[in-house]
């Protein structure tokens, strides 16, 4: 039995950022109640036909749904009733939105001093960018992600995954957990805030290091698949006979192993490649030599050779390969559910390996809008089923 089962988490959130934070709590066994507008949270709007959007299915397992019009007196009061009983409230509304509805963090904390208000924002609630509209793409642009992605002679390119949204959600979960730990000692809740934009700066460590480690060199912002600071080689994605492969050498034994695995022993005697700094200085020549060999071999053959010499490498997997990845399936990160509208579909497992008992229970599918209205409002607020259902009507 999970020790999180006694936590009531109100998820007043939409799209990816807040819902992923809520999913972490749901995986650990917390009672996560998703409070949605009467028409459903915004991610539901991506549905085509009768099928539910896969992105909503993937981020909302093991949650319950209550639909409330927070602009109405009845819906507003119902939410505050849930707040009175809650341990955590997750929100990622735009700055000022909750305040305009009379639900500012200080109002919520005054009602429930033990509450943790976990606020996910694009740029935070302070600073010059605070009022800017924020989505994953715009935060990637403002954070330097797009400027540093792509080839040196090409245009800037966004990262494929919506990682700023998810990074914000992961950090928000950590902040909420830290506040819950503090509450055990003080008895008091607090507001915690995470800016998606803030979480990306430390991820630029390698790229920013180029500014300071090589102040006299004119380094490109975009380095393709090479090291962001151009301080390491071999470090690249190399073409194979049937695809692509990533290879990185961080230690001299990796370099030696690579040369022996790919029959490139003469490079070990080449003065251009004698040290890691020289290899970085001559990475164009080095990559050309490696590519000449990898292009003649399959991905599997290269991996087999390099792994025999303990050289870090990996095939570049396509989405269809990832969708059926045996490692992710074996670890329970890809889990399958029977969805009433979509049939058998994959969903997101729990990456937090707390213990064998936590996060491995059967998953429930993402709820329909207001699916748990009567049960949640009846159990927590003592509301009749009829009164609870009336709140779902405009």
**pLDDT single digits (tens) 219-259:** 788 999 999 888 899 999 999 999 999 999 999 999 999 99
- HSE (CB half, 13 Å, CA atoms) of 33? 28
- Residue carrying the six token digits 């700066």: 201
Q: Which residues of the chain have pLDDT under 50?
A: 1
| Size of the chain in residues | 394
Question: Choosing from 87, 165, 287, 372, which is the catalytic residue?
Answer: 165
* Model pLDDT, residue 219: 77
- CA of 204: how far to CAs of 145, 201, 207, 256, 309, in Å? 8, 5, 5, 29, 30
* Model pLDDT, residue 1: 43
234 within 8 A of 282, measured Cβ to Cβ: no
* Model pLDDT, residue 357: 64
DSSP 3-state of 235? strand
pTM above 0.85, yes or no: yes
Buried b (16+ CB within 10 A) or exposed e, 202-229: ebbeebbbbeeeeeeeebebbbeebbbb
Structure confidence by residue, pLDDT tens digits, 309-352: 999 999 999 999 999 999 999 999 999 999 998 999 999 999 98
* Model pLDDT, residue 2: 61
Q: Which residues contact 61 (CB under 8 A, 6 or more apart)?
A: 23, 26, 27, 337, 347, 348, 363, 364, 365, 366
Q: Is-catalytic flag, 165?
A: yes
Q: Which of 175, 182, 189, 298 is nearest to 245 (CA)?
A: 298
* Model pLDDT, residue 358: 60
């Amino acid at each position: 039995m999970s020790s999180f089962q006694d936590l009531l988490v109100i998820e007043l959130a939409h799209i990816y950022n807040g819902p992923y934070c809520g999913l972490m709590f749901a995986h650990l066994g917390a009672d996560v109640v998703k409070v949605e507008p009467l028409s459903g949270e915004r991610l539901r709007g991506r549905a085509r036909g009768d099928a539910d959007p896969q992105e909503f299915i993937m981020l909302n397992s093991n949650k319950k749904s209550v639909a409330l019009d927070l602009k109405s007196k009845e819906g507003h009061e119902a939410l505050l009733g849930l707040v009175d009983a809650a341990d955590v409230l997750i929100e990622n509304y735009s700055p000022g939105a909750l305040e305009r509805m009379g639900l500012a963090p200080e109002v919520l904390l005054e009602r429930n001093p033990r509450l943790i208000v976990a606020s996910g924002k694009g740029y935070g609630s302070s600073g010059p960018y605070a009022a800017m509209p924020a989505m994953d793409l715009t935060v990637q642009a403002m954070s330097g992600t797009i400027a540093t992605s792509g080839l040196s002679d090409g245009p800037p390119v966004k990262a494929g995954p919506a990682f700023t949204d998810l990074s914000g959600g992961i950090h928000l979960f950590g902040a909420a957990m830290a506040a819950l730990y503090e509450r055990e000692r003080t008895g008091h809740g607090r507001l915690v805030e995470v800016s998606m934009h803030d979480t990306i700066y430390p991820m630029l460590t390698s790229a920013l290091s180029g500014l300071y480690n090589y102040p006299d060199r004119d380094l490109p912002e975009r380095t393709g698949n090479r090291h962001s600071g151009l301080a390491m080689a071999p470090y690249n994605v190399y073409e194979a006979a049937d695809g692509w492969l990533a290879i990185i050498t961080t230690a001299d034994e990796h370099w030696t192993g690579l040369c022996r695995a790919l029959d490139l022993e003469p490079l070990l005697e080449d003065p251009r490649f004698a040290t890691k700094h020289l290899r970085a200085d001559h990475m164009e020549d080095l990559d050309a030599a490696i590519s000449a060999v990898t292009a003649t071999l399959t991905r599997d053959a290269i991996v087999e050779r390099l792994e025999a010499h303990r050289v870090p490498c990996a095939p570049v997997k396509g989405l269809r390969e990832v969708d059926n990845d045996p490692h992710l399936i074996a670890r329970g990160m890809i889990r399958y559910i029977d969805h009433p509208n979509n049939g058998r579909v994959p969903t997101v497992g729990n990456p937090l390996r707390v213990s064998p008992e936590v996060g491995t229970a059967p998953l429930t599918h993402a709820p329909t809008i207001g699916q748990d209205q009567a049960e949640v409002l009846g159990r927590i607020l003592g509301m009749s089923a009829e009164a609870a259902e009336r709140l779902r009507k405009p």
